[in-house]
Structure 1
Amino acid sequence: MAARAVTIQEVARRAGVSPQTVSNVLNNPERVRPATARKVHAAVDELGYRADAAARRLRTRRSDTIGLRLAPLPAGISGAILDVFLHEITMRAAQLGLRILLYTAADRDDEITRLRELVASGDIDGVILTDTQAGDPRPAWLRDRGVPCVSFGRPWGEEEAAEHPWVDVDGAAGTRAAAEYLIDTGATRIGFLGWPDSAGQGVSRCAGWRDAVLEGGLMNASDADELVTTCPDNVADAMRAATQLLTRHTDIDGLVCASDSLAFGALLAVGPKVRVIGFDNTPVARAVGLSSVDQRIDLVAQAVLDLLVKDGRVVAQAAGSRVITPELRVRSAVIQDPSVLGSDA
C-alpha cells in the first residue's frame, strides 16, 4: 500500500512555522531568513514531504524527469564537449519518454541546496552528476534520500569504493592511441602538453602518452619527464608553452595535448613543422583539420542512461561503472601560416 502523502501543515508543525512560511521556503526562498529556511528544509527532509503540485502529477511518485546541472562553460575550446553531452543525453532520454531538467548551481554545496528543492517538489526522479571527485558529498546525499543517480566522470581515487554508478572516458587510452599513431607514422621525439597541478583526468591523459613513448623505445623515463610541459587550458598560454618546449627541445616532431584548446594553441605556435594531436574532437578541431581524440560522447550518454533507466523508468541501480574507449580522428591541419590568425585566437 502506498505511503500516505505528508502535508504542508505537518511540515509546518515539525518546523515550528506557519504553512505559508513553508510555502515561501519552497517557492520564494528569498522571502525567508536563512535560519528559518534551514529549519523548514530539515523538516522536509525528515518527513519526506513532496509538494502538492507534484503529488497531483505523480500519483506514482514519478516525474519521468532527470535533473542535470548546467555547469558554467569552462574556458577554452574544449568546453564545447559539455554541449555535446547535453544534446546527446536529452535526445536519448526523449527516445525513452523521459525529460531532462536543467538547473544551475555555483558549487557542490549550492547544488545540494538546489537538489533539495527539486526533490522536495517532486520535479525529478533521478540525477546525472558531472564534475565528480574524491569526497564528493552529492552521491551520498542523494542515496540517503532514495534518489537514483549516475555520474559522468569517475570519482577519482575512489573508483572501487564508489557506491553509485559512474561512466567515464579512458583518457589514457586516447592519448596512448595518439602517441602510437605518431610513432607508427615516423615521429621519433614526441612531447606532451598538459594541465598544471592536474589530478585525475589530467594525470590519466599524460600517463597514456608516457606509456606509449616508453614502450615504443623512443626514450627513457627521465627523457620523458623533460618533454612534458603544462599550462592553463587556453589557446594563448598553450602557444607560449609550446614555443618554450620547442625552444628547449628543437628535435620534437610530434606533440600530444590534453585538450583541443592546448592543441590549437600549439598548432598556432609551431605550424606544420610539428604534428599536433588534441583531445575532445571539438568543432574547432574539425574545422581546422586538427587530429584529435574523440571521447565518443554518444556512447557516454547511452551508458549513463543504461545505468539509470530500466524499462523506461528511473531506478536506483547497484554501483557499477562503464569506461568508454575513445577514438582517434586523424586529419591534416590546414593552418600553414599561423600568424594570420594572431595570438588571440
Structure 2
Amino acid sequence: MSEKPVRARHATISDVARTAGVSRQTVSNVINAPQTVRAETRARVEAAIEQLRYRPNASARRLRTRRSATIAIRAEEQAGGVSGTIYDRFLHALAMEAGHRGRRILLFAAEDASHEIQQYRSLSYGDDVDALVLTGTSHTDARIDWLVDHRVPFVSFGRPWSRPRLDDPLVPWVDVDGAAGVRLATEHLWDRGCRRIAFAGWPSPSGTGDDRRSGWEQAMRRRGWAEDGLVALRADAPEDIGAAARAVSRLIDGLGPDAPDAFVCASDTLALGTLLGGGRGHPVIGFDDTPVAASQGFSSVAQPLDHVARAVLDLVDSLTAPEEDAGAGDPAARHVLLAPRLVVRDEAAPTASRLWS
C-alpha cells in the first residue's frame, strides 16, 4: 500500500510574525497598508515573507476587508506622435508600485469616453475593483462628472480641466507642473543668450497644452516681452511631426530677419517637427524626455513618472482605507502637483544627417 504524499504546510501570518519578531497586526499592516509601518520593520517583515514564501489568502482578505486590492485603468491606444510612450512608462511604474503594495492592476479597453463610462459602471457595480485611475483628461471630459455623481473612488493622472475648480475636493488628482517645466526650459535658453525664444504648442483649448504654454509666457514676460510679440513667436500644431514642421516653417518664413533663435515645445513630437521644419542650427527643447529625444540628442523636460505612480497609489490608499482609519484628512492633500526636471543634452542642434539616423 503506497503512502499518500505529504502536502507541505503553507506558512501562516503567525509564522511570519514569529520569524520577524513582530505582531500579527504588524504583518497585516505591511501587507495591506505598508506606508503605515516604519521602513526598518517593514523590511524585516518582507524578508520573513520572502524566506517563508508566505502568500496571503487573497479570497479571505477580500471577504474580511470587502476590498479587491485591484485598481482598474483603461489600456490606451498608442497616441499620435512620439510622446505616446509616456502612458506606457506610467503604466509600468504604476504596476511596479502596486505590486509592492500588494495591489493588482486590471486593464480594460474602451472605444471612446462613452464606452469607458460603461466599463466603469460594470466594474464598480460588480465590486471588481477598489478604485479607478484616469488618464488623458480634457476640457470636455464626461468621465469625471460620472464618477463624482456615482461616488466611485478614483484618482486622475492629470488635472480635471472640465471641472469649474481644479481644487475640487471631490476630484483627487496627481499631475506634473507643465508650466514650471516649460518655464525652466525657457529660462535655461535665456541664460544661454537666446532672446527670441519661440513656442511650438497644441491649439487651444488644451488643458495640458495651455498649461505648458503659460510657463513660456511667464518667463518671456518677465524679460520684457509684450503680448503681441509673444503671439508672433507661437506656432500651433496638433501632435503630429509633419504638421509641426509645417507650422514652424511658416513661422520662420513669416518673421524673416526676426526669426526665432531658439524653440521650446509642448512635446517631443513637436520638438522633432520643429527641427525638421527649420529649427536645426538653433537650440530646441521638447517635453516628456522620450527615447526619441535621447537618440536625436535634443534637450527635454522629464516627467517624474515613478513619483506620479506613488502619489496616485497614496491617494488610492487613502480613498479605500477602512472608515475607522481614513479620517477626514486635508482636502488639499488630494491634489498633488509634482515638479519636472530639465534634461540638458548637446544643444548644438542635431544636423540633418543625424535626424532619423
Q: TM-score, normalising length from structure 2?
A: 0.74
Secondary structure, aligned partner of 1:58: helix
Query: For the residues of structure 1 that align with 2:229 and 2:141, how far apart are their CA atoms?
Result: 36
Aligned pair 1:238/2:244, yes or no? yes
Question: Is the Cα–Cα contact under 8 Å of residues 151 and 167 in structure 1 kept in the other structure?
Answer: yes
Change (3 A) 1:146 1:193: closer
Query: For the residues of structure 1 that align with 2:277 and 2:157, how far apart are their CA atoms?
Result: 33
Q: Deviations over 1:236-266 (max 9, x none)?
A: 1111111121112243111011110000111
Query: For the residues of structure 2 that align with 1:149 and 1:83, how far apart are their CA atoms?
Result: 20
Match of 2:98 in 1: 93
**Cα drift, residue 314 of structure 1:** 8.6
Q: Deviations over 1:19-45 (max 9, x none)?
A: xxxxxxxxxxxxxxxxxxxxxxxxxxx
Query: For the residues of structure 1 that align with 2:113 and 2:320, how far apart are their CA atoms?
Result: 29
Question: Is the Cα–Cα contact under 8 Å of residues 271 and 337 in structure 1 kept in the other structure?
Answer: no
Match of 1:58 among 55, 62, 68: 62
Match of 1:299 in 2: 307
Aligned pair 1:263/2:271, yes or no? yes
Match of 1:165 in 2: 172
**Cα drift, residue 136 of structure 1:** 4.0
Question: Gaps spanning 5+ residues in structure 1: where?
Answer: 1-53
Change (3 A) 1:328 1:257: same
Task: Pick which of 129-138 and 256-265 moved more.
Answer: 129-138
Query: For the residues of structure 1 that align with 2:122 and 2:133, how far apart are their CA atoms?
Result: 16
Change (3 A) 1:313 1:91: farther
Query: For the residues of structure 2 that align with 1:145 and 1:211, how far apart are their CA atoms?
Result: 39
Query: For the residues of structure 2 that align with 1:148 and 1:133, how far apart are their CA atoms?
Result: 19
Question: Is the Cα–Cα contact under 8 Å of residues 288 and 334 in structure 1 kept in the other structure?
Answer: no
Q: Percent identity?
A: 43
**Cα drift, residue 313 of structure 1:** 5.5
Question: Is the Cα–Cα contact under 8 Å of residues 265 and 287 in structure 2 kept in the other structure?
Answer: yes
Secondary structure, aligned partner of 2:63: coil
Query: For the residues of structure 1 that align with 2:186 and 2:120, how far apart are their CA atoms?
Result: 42
Q: TM-score, normalising length from structure 1?
A: 0.76
Query: For the residues of structure 2 that align with 1:239 and 1:124, how far apart are their CA atoms?
Result: 44
**Cα drift, residue 338 of structure 1:** 1.9
Residue type of the alignment partner of 1:194: G
**Cα drift, residue 193 of structure 1:** 0.6
Query: For the residues of structure 2 that align with 1:293 and 1:57, how far apart are their CA atoms?
Result: 42
Match of 1:48 in 2: none
Match of 2:233 in 1: 227
Match of 1:112 in 2: 117
Aligned pair 1:274/2:274, yes or no? no
Secondary structure, aligned partner of 2:239: coil
Q: Deviations over 1:76-122 (max 9, x none)?
A: 00111101100100000100010110011122221121122222333
Match of 1:80 in 2: 85
Change (3 A) 1:124 1:171: same
Change (3 A) 1:246 1:117: same
Match of 2:339 among 309, 325, 331: 325
Tell me the C-alpha RMSD between the 2 structures.
2.7
Task: Pick which of 130-139 and 90-99 moved more.
Answer: 130-139
Query: For the residues of structure 1 that align with 2:286 and 2:73, how far apart are their CA atoms?
Result: 27
Change (3 A) 1:169 1:314: farther
Query: For the residues of structure 1 that align with 2:95 and 2:350, how far apart are their CA atoms?
Result: 39
**Cα drift, residue 161 of structure 1:** 2.8
Query: For the residues of structure 2 that align with 1:190 and 1:270, how far apart are their CA atoms?
Result: 14
Question: Is the Cα–Cα contact under 8 Å of residues 256 and 276 in structure 1 kept in the other structure?
Answer: yes
Match of 1:71 among 70, 76, 100: 76
Question: Is the Cα–Cα contact under 8 Å of residues 70 and 104 in structure 2 kept in the other structure?
Answer: yes
Aligned pair 1:289/2:294, yes or no? no
Match of 1:187 in 2: 194
**Cα drift, residue 146 of structure 1:** 4.9
